[in-house]
Amino acid sequence: MPSLGTWSRWRRRVAARLVHAAWRRVQRAGVVTAETAAGRRFAAFGPGSLVAFPTGTVFGERWIEIGDGTMLGEQVSVCAGMMPGHDLGSESVLRIGDRCVIGRGSHIVAHHSIDIGDDVYTGPYVYITDQNHSYADPELPIGRQWPVNAAVSIGAGTWLGTGVIVLPGAVIGRNVVVAAGSVVRGEIGDRCVVAGVPARVIKDFNPQTGWSRPAAGSLRADAAFRGTLAGDPALAEDPALAEDPGLAGDPALAELLLGRAPSENLTVVAVPGEGLARPLPGEGLARPLPGEGLAAPLPGPVLAAPLRGEALAGDSVLADRDS
């Protein structure tokens, strides 16, 4: 005769199978399609498309269009407006093309205009919005200031990796790969790979040479979306950027995006006897060696000393570290 423990394990296994089977049936029953009442609430819901169950937050369907053969994964939120019942006028504000796949847990929040082209795929937990908080009044809480809208466009055939954030005003070209965790703003051209915060071009396609990496720190590395900067002769003379207005009206943002990575910005000087790396004026702060504080920038036009070979002879700390 089976023991009490054996019966208990058997009951748990049976209960687990029943619960999982019931949940699968609930998921199938809860799928939103063009034939369901929930699907008919959308401005357009193409044949063969579905929204998986359980859904995320969904409202403003009257201003949302979904193309043919598109799939929105579980817990995907698609919203139009600030709240249910918000009247956005006569035109749709969120348009998702044909054969798209929106990954689990993603959020697409439209107030003004979001256009997602055909065959766009995203990983899970992607966030796309065309509205951002305003902070024009420094005395008023940010949440009480009127938000600012800027249209978003994502070109056909593009892939957005896990956790990508697409900010208001972003224009992403066709067949673009956006690496996981990137934050996209501004314009990105066709057929390139972008990564980082903010996202920058790390690889692009040339019909003659194929896929290649732009030279480190070169303007070509970011020409696809940064454009020209007013008053900068170096940019003005670059034919690749001549017709791209880009960030001409936003020098502060342009300075942020045009700057090289922190490791490229520093001109490091070995200071004999101190074991410190000191930056030249205007080049940012260098990291000290372990156990040391930050040294003051060296005055005047000092040239960086080589960190290898004979230059290390006078500094035992640097020499030991470099060996």
Side-chain half-sphere of 137: how many Cα atoms within 13 Å?
9
Please indicate whether residue 133 is annotated as part of the active site.
yes
pTM of the model: 0.66
Is residue 253 a contact partner of residue 247, using CB atoms and an 8 Å limit? Answer: yes
Q: What whole-number distance in Å separates Cα of residue 122 and Cα of residue 248?
A: 31
Element (H, E) at 114: strand 114-116
Could you read off the pLDDT tens digit of each residue along the chain, which spans 323 residues? 567 778 788 888 999 999 999 999 999 999 999 999 999 999 999 999 999 999 999 999 999 999 999 999 999 999 999 888 888 888 999 999 999 999 999 999 999 999 999 999 999 999 999 999 989 999 999 989 999 999 999 999 999 999 999 999 999 999 999 999 999 999 999 999 999 999 999 998 888 888 888 755 444 444 444 443 433 444 444 444 444 444 444 444 444 444 443 333 333 334 444 444 444 444 444 444 444 444 444 344 333 333 333 333 334 333 343 43
Select from 2.160.10.10, 3.30.160.110, 1.10.150.120, 2.40.50.140 the CATH code of 31-213.
Answer: 2.160.10.10
Where are the chain's structural domains? 1-29, 31-213, 267-322
Nearest residue to 129 (alpha-carbon basis) of 147, 107, 146, 96: 107
Alpha-carbon dihedral sign for residues 230, 231, 236, 240: negative
Extended beta strands in 232-272, E state: 268-271
Annotated active-site residue in 107, 111, 112, 133: 133
